[in-house]
Structure 1
Amino acid sequence: MANAAPTNLISAESLTVVHGSRVLLDAVSLGLSHGDRVGVVGRNGDGKSTLLRLLARRQEGDGGRVTHTGGLRLGMLDQGDVLPPGATVREAVLGDLPDHVWASQPKVRDVLTGLLGGIDAAEVGGLDVAVGTLSGGQRRRVALAALLTGEHDVVVLDEPTNHLDVEGVDWLARHLAARWPAGTGALLVVTHDRWFLDAVCEKVWEVHDGVVDPYEGGYAAYVQTRAERSRVAAVTEERRQNLLRKELAWLRRGAPARTSKPRFRLDAAAALIADEPPPRDTVALARMATTRLGKDVLDLENVSLDRGEGSRRRRLLDTVTWRLGPGDRIGVVGVNGAGKSSLISLITGELAPDAGRVKRGTTVVVAHLSQDVHEIDEVGELRALEAVEKVAGHVRLGDRDVPAGQLLERLGFTAQRAWTRVDDLSGGERRRLQLLRLLMAEPNVLLLDEPTNDLDTDTLAAVEDLLDGWPGTLVVVSHDRYLLERVTDTQVALFGDGALRQLVGGVEEYLRRRAEGVGAVTRETPRPAAAPDGAVVRAARKELARLERRLEKLGEREVALHAAMAEASTDHARVGALDAELRAVLAEKDEVEDAWMTASELLE
């Protein structure tokens, strides 16, 4: 007997929503069943949050209906959640549950540790602090913790990663992946965090032009399928499309070792685009950056920086030496309170170090995208295009001049929105305009502080494409792993112990080090470690050079194996042998990277 179709926990029939003269949802029908893990994407304003509220029955539509299965337990985190200001964190999250009860529940303890550790670390009263005294970000984490400590068949989350750092996003992804047994429970989430979408979701719903299009797989599969649906005339693009079709046909036939879940193999997907040019020509951009900047950009030399007063005074940077060169593209991650914003302020000159010096090149022109969109209030009466052209009519990107109107279009401003007053723009549009105005001034050092705030996934891709052609030194502070790995070439971390460490393994290495307890934030001012002697330094430098050569060769072999797997995609035996060799290469690469870190720490 054939298995019965799964019963929908939530069913929507002919949902229709009209805002003014615009149809947000046009007779949309869909369902959410046990085992579904769905990410919702789409442009800002196209109806993602509206769809969630309708499905949760927190909002009535203009047509259609939503039904819930009997006894459904649904929990929702809305963007506008309001916590009672007089309540304590304990009351908001745990209600009147006695300590001995919740402390015996592993899930509750995990939620408190994963989401509220930052509040405890700030020593503002821990669980007994009043909600009304917390920052917006802390209140958001409390609301999320209150939801996740409950028992729900369906969890609906609207932008849950807002105000979470890299570590918090990683924890939330792991928690949701393990929250229900396989095939049970359902998750529906709106987020612009593309790494999170890939880590958590097995389906994607794209909301656009009044409809909801379903895609199987996470964000990578969604992008891959969109690429497949598009047709491009160029020969190289046509070849890539043929490879996509070939791979998709293989996936449909099914590999012997494949699981029942229709997941896309990331290694094969990487091989499919191996013949594509890199997103940016780093050599050419570095050459242009050197022309604009010279060889000296910015050096922090033995810099120490203390913040706070009295017993709360803490050393953020302890004899840190860091050099930014022309064309460097660096991502910065770190624990809350470790000094990321202070590091940016040292670069801009807003802060002076307590010891050491900050040396800037004579031609350096710094632009800083802060988190405050009110910076463009001064041009609120202007149209969007006028606000950009007030800075400059065109800008040099890569090897060509781009007019202001074309840049606005690239970042999603239609002709109508380009002539909208700045005061009437949405938060996401103001954020894009803020960035464009900075770029129009043609700085040669660009500092981006959490640039993904208020931007949808399509706009983020457009911003990344724009930055690919920008010839200067780029420093990005962000909790968005996808963005960091997409637009920067190297990452550094502040662990809260006064040091600035390079992350050879990227964000994954940062999370591993944090799990191992590296860099716990302390209140004592760290003392500088004794410098290694000259012989040790010379030996470490020699070992670093050897390990870097080995890493380069392993990287080349990894690329070659991916290409070979793509060529042999229909030969299962050959793919299996290549996959085994690839795993061995990756294992050796991990060992070499660990050895590199050991040697490099002697030189910090």
Structure 2
Amino acid sequence: MAHLLGGEHLHVEFPAKVVLDDVTVGVADGDRIGIVGRNGDGKSTLMRVLMQRYAPDAGKVTVRGGIRVGMLAQDDALPESGSVQHTIVGDRPEHEWLGDARVRDVLKGLVGDLALDADVDTLSGGQRRRVALARLLVGDWDVVALDEPTNHLDVEGITWLAEHLRARWSATSGALLVVTHDRWFLDAVCTRMWEVHDGEVEPFEGGYGAYILQRVERDRQAAVAEDKRRNLLRKELAWLRRGAPARTSKPKFRIDAATQLIEGEPDPRNGIELTKLATARLGKDVVDLVDASVSFDEKPVLDRVEWRIAPGERTGILGANGAGKSTLLALVAGTLAPTSGRVKRGQTVKVAHLTQRLTELEPVERLRVREVLAEQKTTYVAGGKELTPAQLLERLGFRASELSTPVGDLSGGQKRRLQLLLVLMGEPNVLILDEPTNDMDTDMLAALEDLLDTWPGTLLVVSHDRYFMERVTDQQYAVLDHRFRHLPGGVDEYLRLRAAMTDAASRPATAAPRAAASTPAASTPALSGAERRAAEKELAAIDRRLAKLAEQISAVDVRLADAHDDYAALVALQTERDQLTTETVELEERWLELGEAVG
């Protein structure tokens, strides 16, 4: 595939730290690259250098002539004034951009809830970020670079963005570079990964899940003495097999292979033990919302909510921006009284609310991290082990050298982790996390998930990070049309319900009775006996073929490793592997179709 851009022998050095050290990378047509690594290790710097927004100390960036490159950086600023429409489409005539399918799709997907004639200086920070992303995506680019594009997007927005990027170019044209902590998004859009660490950039094939598998294998083969880090990765791998119901819909041979990989690995959480501990700390009564409604200026936000929160409950809460999630959590936390109905609170309940605003750190901004830790209690129990505040902070990714840093000088991710430590040291028994993944890298998210696995209390999570929510909670609810609704099917069910609501809202009123009458017919028709037997026979044949393909791919991988210095053989073997992989994907899709039909 044709080379689009790249960097040769790149070197970038900041005071007391080398970020990129003799790095050479290339981006070709068809590349969809996710850039991961710890906060501060150079992910955004690498992207800015390749997009020629930052000059390296040494090395050079090459860009093929005529290539159109667009980037959304974290600090991209919008004009101080002007309408949303003008900011996104500029001076293009209305008939021109209205006739452009891409522009219409971007406007609907990202700013459909905003008035196009609204002035950008009246928008919130999250709304401005969505406008900036829309302004980029309506353009015609050969390479798109996105730095944390999922920030300020809800689950629906993230799903839309993934679908947009998958459909934006053909499989062999265009290129995408993305820095994000959203692991579901990485798996949804990326076919390659770059891990930035220790001044290097290490490439991996596949999305986030494949990257985790390869890292575990890399560490095993190298016999690296990073037991703590490897255990976190194995635990995450175990969850990828066991965690979400949707992930169990895999061909049998893949389930068997995953089971062998994680044999002996315990479940991420001991639910029985955690519930027992939570009950001991809380008693049987936590918080009950009984027929609770909230209105502001006579406009309903929540309507007759019934929610009896149990000791040790781990619940994720979904909902569009402005749906009422924060209002719901305020009722639980006791900072808001219902307009009608009541909130009943257990006598021993101690609620801690990890907000997005970092208000807990404002009084200690001038202090050094170690001075803040000295004011805390001496120990914290996690997973049956006593940890000092410094050990707990180390578990959350702080280095010893960073303990002397003033709190005000910490990065966003470091502040978030210190905020969490201060909240946990207060020993709450009900913990509310409001978008806790902001500013955290994927390794730190795994560490946070590991810590929460041992936290013995009731956990309520609001997050647009689908991976995190499914990982740390056992059930999901949604605020939909002012009501509080259980989601047995998790995030997938929420997306279906939201899509149905959007369709119903856009359907003409006269068509509503017909649509309602046709609803039962939308379900999948039952198979006859003969059809079921044929489907089951085809399923068995696909299982056998997939197992054979897995063996062939493994054999090709061995030959690829042996042919590392034979370019012609590498090309031929990679072509063979791509063909086997394509057949595997097609058969898996057919397997899932048949499995759904058979039930």
TM-score, structure 1 as length reference: 0.79
Q: Of 504, 508, 511, which aligns to 2:488?
A: 504
Q: Of 450, 472, 475, which aligns to 2:460?
A: 475
Partner residue, 1:95: 90
Could you tell me how far 1:55 is from its partner in structure 2? 0.6
1:452 aligns with 2:444: no
1:433 aligns with 2:422: no
Structure 1 residues 567 and 422 mapped into 2: Cα distance closer, same or farther (>3 Å)? farther
**Is the 1:408–1:418 Cα contact (8 Å) retained in structure 2?**
no
Tell me the distance in 2 between the aligned counterparts of 1:400 and 1:11. Answer: 48
Structure 1 residues 175 and 268 mapped into 2: Cα distance closer, same or farther (>3 Å)? farther
**Is the 1:34–1:183 Cα contact (8 Å) retained in structure 2?**
yes
Point out where structure 2 has 5 or more consecutive residues left out of the alignment: 238-252, 507-541, 554-583
**Is the 1:385–1:408 Cα contact (8 Å) retained in structure 2?**
no
Could you tell me how far 1:157 is from its partner in structure 2? 0.6
1:327 aligns with 2:322: no
Tell me the distance in 2 between the aligned counterparts of 1:294 and 1:301. Answer: 19
Tell me the distance in 2 between the aligned counterparts of 1:585 and 1:273. Answer: 24
1:315 aligns with 2:304: no
Could you tell me how far 1:48 is from its partner in structure 2? 1.1
CA RMSD of aligned residues (A): 3.0
Partner residue, 1:193: 182
Equivalent position SS for 2:501? coil
Q: Of 490, 498, 504, which aligns to 2:475?
A: 490
**Is the 1:388–1:436 Cα contact (8 Å) retained in structure 2?**
no
1:380 aligns with 2:365: yes
Tell me the distance in 2 between the aligned counterparts of 1:582 and 1:86. Answer: 50
Partner residue, 1:166: 155
**Residue identity in the other structure for 2:330:** S
- What is the 5 A alignment of 1:295-314? 295-307=284-296, 309=297, 313-314=298-299
Point out where structure 1 has 5 or more consecutive residues left out of the alignment: 1-5, 120-125, 245-264, 523-560, 590-604
Structure 1 or 2: larger helix share? 2
1:69 aligns with 2:69: no
**Residue identity in the other structure for 2:281:** R
Structure 1 residues 339 and 195 mapped into 2: Cα distance closer, same or farther (>3 Å)? same
Matched positions, count: 508
**Residue identity in the other structure for 1:11:** G
Could you tell me how far 1:317 is from its partner in structure 2? 1.1
**Is the 2:11–2:56 Cα contact (8 Å) retained in structure 1?**
yes
Could you tell me how far 1:568 is from its partner in structure 2? 11
Partner residue, 1:253: none
Tell me the distance in 1 between the aligned counterparts of 2:369 and 2:405. Answer: 6
Q: Of 277, 290, 297, which aligns to 2:279?
A: 290
Equivalent position SS for 2:92? coil
Equivalent position SS for 2:376? coil
**Identity within the alignment, %:** 55
Could you tell me how far 1:521 is from its partner in structure 2? 9.4
1:393 aligns with 2:383: no
Could you tell me how far 1:136 is from its partner in structure 2? 1.1
Q: Of 218, 221, 224, which aligns to 1:229?
A: 218
Partner residue, 2:47: 52
Partner residue, 1:411: 396
**Residue identity in the other structure for 2:195:** E
Tell me the distance in 1 between the aligned counterparts of 2:388 and 2:547. Answer: 40
Tell me the distance in 1 between the aligned counterparts of 2:396 and 2:277. Answer: 24
Could you tell me how far 1:429 is from its partner in structure 2? 0.7
Tell me the distance in 1 between the aligned counterparts of 2:504 and 2:433. Answer: 26
Could you tell me how far 1:462 is from its partner in structure 2? 0.5
Tell me the distance in 1 between the aligned counterparts of 2:284 and 2:423. Answer: 23
Tell me the distance in 1 between the aligned counterparts of 2:61 and 2:128. Answer: 30
Equivalent position SS for 1:405? helix
Could you tell me how far 1:443 is from its partner in structure 2? 0.9
**Is the 1:331–1:484 Cα contact (8 Å) retained in structure 2?**
yes
- What is the 5 A alignment of 1:118-197? 118-119=113-114, 126-197=115-186
Partner residue, 1:361: 346
TM-score, structure 2 as length reference: 0.80
Tell me the distance in 1 between the aligned counterparts of 2:451 and 2:464. Answer: 20
**Is the 1:297–1:364 Cα contact (8 Å) retained in structure 2?**
yes
Tell me the distance in 2 between the aligned counterparts of 1:138 and 1:521. Answer: 23
Per mean C-alpha deviation after superposition, the further-off stretch among 193-202 and 128-137 is 128-137
**Residue identity in the other structure for 1:47:** G
Structure 1 residues 208 and 509 mapped into 2: Cα distance closer, same or farther (>3 Å)? same
Partner residue, 1:112: 107
Equivalent position SS for 2:81? coil
Equivalent position SS for 1:382? coil
1:516 aligns with 2:500: yes
Equivalent position SS for 1:87? coil
Structure 1 residues 579 and 150 mapped into 2: Cα distance closer, same or farther (>3 Å)? closer
**Residue identity in the other structure for 1:69:** R
**Residue identity in the other structure for 1:413:** F
Structure 1 residues 387 and 393 mapped into 2: Cα distance closer, same or farther (>3 Å)? same
Structure 1 residues 380 and 578 mapped into 2: Cα distance closer, same or farther (>3 Å)? closer
